[in-house]
Every structure is written in structure tokens, then in C-alpha cells.
């Protein structure tokens, strides 16, 4: 039997940001944007452009995906957020990367490729890495290497 003393205490915003700096090596600004992305996946944010901007930082985007995986939320949280990001301007490619990741996870590889190819010109490190992985799967190592250089 557990009692109230055994239940974990929810972290406040400052503690969550501090945890992200330690866990993912983010600076405090990145950790704050990371928390904005996580929060946006479970509640409608006031400004989706802020979330897309946060995902434009590959370290923030990768940390969010990792946290969702650690918390067994990959089938829920990113998909709901990705749907809402489809209509938001995405100059840095982070939103496209998230949407492509969700599409690939759902078995929609052609959709994922289309999103990644459209975002390749942004130079987003995760977009290029995903494209390189697809090129490698296609037995095209030269194209994969070129994307990573």
C-alpha cells in the first residue's frame, strides 16, 4: 500500500528547466523552449509559431522526441502537436522534421520523405540526418554522405 508520501512531487517550472539542462545538456534558453514544446503537445499553446521556432533548434527538437519516447508518449503527444503545426510557417524546418517523424512512425514513409525533402533547404540538422537515413535505406550511400557533409 502506498501513501501520499510515496507519490512523486510534480516539478515546478524552474525545476523542470533545470532538469532539462542536466538531462539533455541544454542551456537555460533551450531548456525553456524544450518545456514549451512538451507543454504544447498536451495543451493548445497560445502561439504555435513559438513552438515551431523552438523545434528549429535541433537540440530542443531531439530532446523533446527523446522525452516523449522515455515517457512512452510517441504515439500520442507528437502526433497531436504535428497535426496542429501543419499550417504554421516553418522557416527553420523543425516543424517539418517533427511532422515527418510522426508520418514515418505511422508507416507513411512517402509523406515523411516529401516533408523532409521540402525542408532540406533549411539545413536543419535533424532533417538532413533523416533524409540521409532514407537515402542509405535506398542503397544510395553517396547521397546520404552528401547530406551529412
Lowest mean pLDDT among 2-11, 12-21, 50-59, 76-85: 2-11
pLDDT (tens digit per residue) in 19-46: 999 999 999 999 999 999 999 998 887 7
Residue 136: pLDDT over 90: no
Query: Cell numbers 518545456 correspond to what residue?
Result: 35
| Closest among 81, 87, 26, 22 to 57, alpha carbons compared | 26
CB environment 125-142: b (16+ within 10 A), e (fewer):
bbbbbbbbebbeeeeeee
The pTM (predicted TM-score) of the whole model is 0.83
Report the pLDDT averaged over residues 111-121.
95
Whether residue 55 contacts residue 64, with contact meaning beta carbons closer than 8 Å, is answered with yes
Q: pLDDT at residue 133 above 90?
A: no
Q: Provide the pLDDT confidence category of residue 148 given band limits of 50, 70 and 90.
A: low
Amino acid at each position: 500500500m502506498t501513501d501520499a508520501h510515496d507519490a512523486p512531487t510534480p516539478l515546478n517550472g524552474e525545476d523542470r528547466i533545470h532538469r532539462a539542462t542536466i538531462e539533455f545538456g541544454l542551456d537555460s534558453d533551450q531548456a525553456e523552449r524544450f518545456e514549451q514544446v512538451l507543454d504544447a503537445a498536451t495543451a493548445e499553446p497560445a502561439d504555435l509559431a513559438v513552438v515551431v521556432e523552438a523545434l528549429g533548434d535541433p537540440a530542443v527538437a531531439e530532446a523533446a522526441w527523446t522525452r516523449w519516447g522515455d515517457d512512452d508518449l510517441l504515439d500520442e503527444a507528437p502526433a497531436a502537436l504535428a497535426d496542429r503545426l501543419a499550417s504554421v510557417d516553418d522557416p527553420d524546418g523543425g516543424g517539418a522534421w517533427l511532422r515527418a517523424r510522426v508520418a514515418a512512425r505511422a508507416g507513411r514513409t512517402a509523406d515523411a520523405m516529401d516533408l523532409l525533402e521540402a525542408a532540406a533547404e533549411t539545413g536543419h540538422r535533424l532533417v538532413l540526418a533523416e533524409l540521409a537515413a532514407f537515402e542509405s535505406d535506398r542503397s544510395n550511400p553517396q547521397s546520404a554522405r552528401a547530406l551529412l557533409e
